[in-house]
Structure 1
Amino acid sequence: MWVYHARRLFSDAPVHFDAAVRILVPQIAENQHAFPVTIDARALGTVQRILLFADLNPIPLAIDYTPGPLAQPFVATRIKLDQRTPVRAAVQTGDGVWHVAGEWVDAAGGGCSAPPVSRVKGDWADHLGELHGRAWPGADDTRLRIAVRHPMDTGLVENIPAYNLETLTIADAGGAVLTRMAMHGSVAEDPVFTLLLKGHQSAYAVTARDTSGLEFKGIIPGEGVSSPRTPS
């Protein structure tokens, strides 16, 4: 599927397989419903976009991350895997070149075609949009972790239509956008994202929007204090 995905995602842009892109994954998916992936492209310098995709998933593309000028090219999250597949990171630099790295991952399968836990329990609507996060300021950067309660339905389970978060935006306390991300149903249920933002902010305003047009908003304090679970 590489040729197909490369043509669809990169069009005629140049593509290089590059060890400067680090993709950190377990070799075996212990839980195909929530498989951890970390992408670190800081060695490339300024980056325009980061794509995370799995070649053989029915929904290959998981996230399309656009780091703003105050964001490091780093992202960690969890995705679903439907079978043994390459999991890849593609990073576009300012010159338009795509830098790609990937790993083969063994998976039992069914991550995209099984109902989420919250659907089985029946309590998904009670917690829809609850947002929790925390910021850890470092010497030069801030590590920001964001979790949003959402079933992230793929549409591949009988009688459950596709329904997922589609955008995540982070702004500073004054409303200036720091970074944004588009996502798809192959991101794991109750998405969790870890990002690195340059410098320190007094607060981070998080807005998530789903495919039904619902928006969920919350404020994460910038001083290492956990935010309350605040859907809106």
Structure 2
Amino acid sequence: MNTTISIFAERLALAAKRIHPCAVLLCVLAIFGPCPVWALESNQSVDLQLTGGDPLGSMQWPDLKNQYLGANARSQFDSAIKVTVPLFAEDAMNVPVSFDASALGEVKKIMVLVDRNPIRKVLEFVPVKTKPALSFRFKLEQASPIRVAALTPDNVWHVGYAHIEASGGGCTVPGATRADGSWPKTLNQVAGKLFDPNELRHSARLRVQVSHPMDTGLVAGVPAFYIEELTLQDSRQQVLARLYPFEPVSENPLFSFDFDRKPAGPVSLVGRDNNGNRIDAQVQP
């Protein structure tokens, strides 16, 4: 019996010399089960390379960074940016999000990006005299990471992030006013209000809503139709903030801006959509 085992071992060793090492490894894994620790560590290293070090492990992040921040841009993930979203998007056409990058100090520009949306850039925000904070709603096509990238004066992008689960479909179905045909009656009408600071919120706040269908162009027979520029001005026509929404912003968008000090009213909101329709309204204090 021992002689038989010895002969079998010799033949196995001889065969192993003729087989590629990778094939031997696969046989060992098949017989002995899960990958050893060193193999897992190797895979994790590969994943970090594929995801650009993304804490959420998204392989879309490197391409997203190159496309919107720049291939050579300096960037870092930064938990100092507070990003608040629901764990699950119950209404994929109206997903609430708020962010606050005040902890960074001065901020030149902020971009909101969604990894797995068909249109990944949601909006761009320039907080001239507002706080680098904003609340709004957007459309989400499927579960995805969301990024809030804030550019500081040293030209470093600080990237806050969160993940939202969703059943999806928010970008590829028509909005309510598009479905019932009511949007032309209210197009670009503005409603808004200025709020004083209170015990729960130490900042003054401006909330404005613009009536607009915000079509993504991904619904059959409905071209892209969205607000592309909004500017906030105080009573002396000094710019308070600039906002550049894109197609994923929700229908009839509602924006909340925060201020260290309540601006002198009335506050003006001026802008246009991608068809050249003008927006021009005042919000009384």
- 2:148 matches 1:85: no
Equivalent position of 2:208 in the other structure? 146
- 2:271 matches 1:213: no
Equivalent position of 1:226 in the other structure? none
Q: How does 1:54-133 map to 2 (within 5 A)?
A: 54-68=114-128, 70-133=129-192
Equivalent position of 2:267 in the other structure? 204
Equivalent position of 2:66 in the other structure? 7
Distance, in Å, in 2 between the alignment partners of 1:174 and 1:214 is: 24
Distance, in Å, in 1 between the alignment partners of 2:80 and 2:135 is: 17
3-state SS, counterpart of residue 186 of structure 1: coil
Equivalent position of 2:106 in the other structure? 46
Q: Which structure 1 segments of 5+ residues have no match?
A: 223-232
Aligned-pair CA distance for 1:101? 1.5
CA deviations 1:197-232 (Å, max 9, x no partner) are 23221210011310011111111112xxxxxxxxxx
Specify the code of the residue in structure 2 equivalent to 1:34.
Answer: N
Specify the code of the residue in structure 2 equivalent to 1:42.
Answer: S
Distance, in Å, in 2 between the alignment partners of 1:71 and 1:6 is: 26
Q: How does 1:218-229 map to 2 (within 5 A)?
A: 218-222=281-285
Aligned-pair CA distance for 1:141? 4.0
Distance, in Å, in 1 between the alignment partners of 2:221 and 2:156 is: 42
Distance, in Å, in 2 between the alignment partners of 1:6 and 1:55 is: 10
CA deviations 1:23-51 (Å, max 9, x no partner) are 00001001000000001111111001111
Q: Which structure 2 segments of 5+ residues have no match?
A: 1-59
3-state SS, counterpart of residue 209 of structure 2: strand
Distance, in Å, in 1 between the alignment partners of 2:66 and 2:73 is: 9
Equivalent position of 1:134 in the other structure? 193
Tell me the TM-score normalized by structure 2: 0.76
Equivalent position of 2:78 in the other structure? 18
Distance, in Å, in 2 between the alignment partners of 1:202 and 1:151 is: 28
Distance, in Å, in 1 between the alignment partners of 2:237 and 2:203 is: 19
Distance, in Å, in 2 between the alignment partners of 1:43 and 1:101 is: 12
Distance, in Å, in 2 between the alignment partners of 1:81 and 1:114 is: 11
Ranked by relative contact order (alpha carbons within 8 Å, sequence separation 6 or more), the top structure is: 1
Q: Which structure dedicates a bigger proportion of its chain to helix? A: 2
Distance, in Å, in 1 between the alignment partners of 2:203 and 2:97 is: 21
Identity %: 34
Q: CA RMSD in A?
A: 1.1
Specify the code of the residue in structure 2 equivalent to 1:45.
Answer: G
Specify the code of the residue in structure 1 equivalent to 2:131.
Answer: Q
Equivalent position of 2:241 in the other structure? 179
Once superposed, which parts of structure 1, at least 4 consecutive aligned residues long, lie more than 6 Å away? none
3-state SS, counterpart of residue 217 of structure 1: strand
CA deviations 1:73-104 (Å, max 9, x no partner) are 10010000000111111111111111112112
Report the number of matched residues: 221
Q: Which has the larger Rg?
A: 2
Tell me the TM-score normalized by structure 1: 0.92
